Amino acid sequence: MNLFSPHARRSLLRRLRHLPLLSFSFSLLVAAALPHADAGAQTSTGPSGGPPSPDAWGYSTHAELMARMRDVAREAPGRAEVRTIGTSRGGREILLLELKPAGGSTDRSPALLVAGGVDGRHLAGAELAMRMAEQAARGEGPELSHRLVFVPLVNPDGYDRAFASPSHLRDGNDHPQDLDRDGLSGEDPFEDLDGNGLITWIRVEDPAGGHRIDSDDPRRMVPADFAKGEPATHRVLMEGVDNDGDGSFNEDGPGGVNIDRNFAFEYPIFREASGDYAASEPETRALMDALYADPAIYAVLTFGPGLNLDKAPAGNGGGGERKITALLPADRSSVAQAVELYAEAVKGVSAAPALPLPGGSFAQTAYYHAGRLSLATPGWWPPAMDGSEAGGSATGVSQGTDAEERLLAWADAEGLEISAPWTPVEHPDFPGRKAEAGGILPFAAWNPPVSYLEEAAGEHLAFLDALSARMPDLAFADEKVEPLGNGLYRVTVSVMNRGRMSTHTEIGDRIRWVERIVTEISLDRGQSLAAGRPLHLRDAMGPGESQTYSWLVRGKGTLSVEVRCATTGTRRLAIDLD
């Protein structure tokens, strides 16, 4: 490793930052010895003084994230366990980190799953999930009451393209795709025409191009409104050339399948980057296999460009439809509670953009096909500035959106440079016409400097703690023994859900992937069951709901009644018959 390269310095210091406290003084010595390195590993500009890159803003590469996961496991022995759940199409490992409560049992107790980096463009989601795991392992914030399961980076192929040269965002993995259906794949990638190491935008003078320079902020290109007499002056494209001469630009670059469009629910068949068929990709199968293998996972929190925690769900799903495409009534209640808790724990939810969950996403499939309570959020968004309108549409989709204006206002207030200056370039597809590369950096829309994510990680950890406090809690509410004579006893037991959410989702009972509640009686030696079934199964039990079971037992001794459900754990009651 060349310690004097900027990337190597940042990588080493990031690793040192996550070592135990005994290494603190050593890390300071190393920082002093490395010229121009700083522990934050973040700058407002790139390494050559140009626009910033994800690396300059402190993001870890895939390899560095995997090392941080293993560091957590080493620093929290007995509580943290890391294991490989799969390998990406490009050969990169996908790790899962399981964190148990301090002093908790080693069995599969109820859990919450946190997933990030499913869409390769969303670097912040992977960083947020990783920081939540690190904070929880260090005991920062609330004490855990349930297991936490983290898969911070599901799509490492797409994620690592942000650290390639040139740096560019791609949602897909390394599975070659013929996106323009010309019999070739990867023949029309992006090109860094201005040589700044980043893929940004190209604007070309064109009166039919549909865009103009924003008169209030020349960094922006905005749609021309012909109805208002605004003439178009430019055409706007992603940076690159038309390599295959088909009239489209950069439409068939390297990779890939967007993993967050490759899941089974409402799979977008025949759509770009969705894959050959649902769950065609090893990353998709690895995450779903991990979810199905752990039936104790009660809820899933997915970081990505989708949001269902900004408002209570609409009441348009009654459960009588042949194809269920909306939350069932009991599940709407649980999600509504989660929305309430999210607004209390996470700042500025009212400023979040509207981000409907797309078909083929993990967040949708986790609910509709795996039966888990599924919550989704980008985790971070540009906060509303004074005088600006909250909400809006998704940022980073196109030049000229209101959300883009808010992003620039926030960055200016924070002193962050998130645009590249418009620089003249020679564009081979537009000879004799003025072409310039620059504009707002595509990665900046969702991915701020990582220093802004530390507080956000703590807020989301507090949200999960508040959510776990409302999770179901099965308990024995009442017991009664009635001697009937001749060694015969009537045993009556009531089981109650003391939590504020159902024991599992209503849709879980419909799709039959979620384990039902089991109530079972076990007899002592010499005892026999005169009446009643030894084992009872039932569907989800709502908050405050109870059910009573009764048996006739012959013979003295100590019997036990056990109630168990994967998403609530197991409770046992011993009853003496004298």
Q: What is the pLDDT of residue 51?
A: 66
Q: What is the pLDDT of residue 24?
A: 27
Q: What is the pLDDT of residue 187?
A: 55
**Total residue length of the chain:** 578
d(CA 81, CA 79): 7
User: Which residues of the chain are under the pLDDT cut of 50?
Assistant: 1-41, 43, 45-49, 387-400
Strands 147-151 and 111-115: parallel
DSSP run (H or E) holding 378: none
Q: What is the pLDDT of residue 102?
A: 75
State the helix-helix crossing angle for 6-17 and 62-75, rounded to 10 degrees: 20
Task: For 110-146, write each residue's pLDDT tens digit.
Answer: 999 999 999 999 999 999 999 999 999 998 877 878 9
Q: What is the pLDDT of residue 141?
A: 76
Question: 137: which DSSP letter?
Answer: H
pTM listed for this prediction = 0.88
Q: What is the pLDDT of residue 177?
A: 67
Q: What is the pLDDT of residue 32?
A: 30
Q: What is the pLDDT of residue 315?
A: 65
Q: Are 337 and 458 in contact (CB under 8 A)?
A: no
Q: What is the pLDDT of residue 457?
A: 97
Q: Are 346 and 375 in contact (CB under 8 A)?
A: no
Q: What is the pLDDT of residue 529?
A: 97
Instruction: Count CB-CB contacts under 10 A for residue 280.
Output: 15
The phi and psi torsions of 115 (rounded to 5 degrees) equal -120, 140
Q: Are 202 and 236 in contact (CB under 8 A)?
A: yes
Task: For 316-331, write each residue's pLDDT tens digit.
Answer: 655 566 789 999 999 9
CA distances from 578 to 139, 316, 482, 489, 572 (A): 47, 55, 11, 10, 19
Amino acid at 212: R
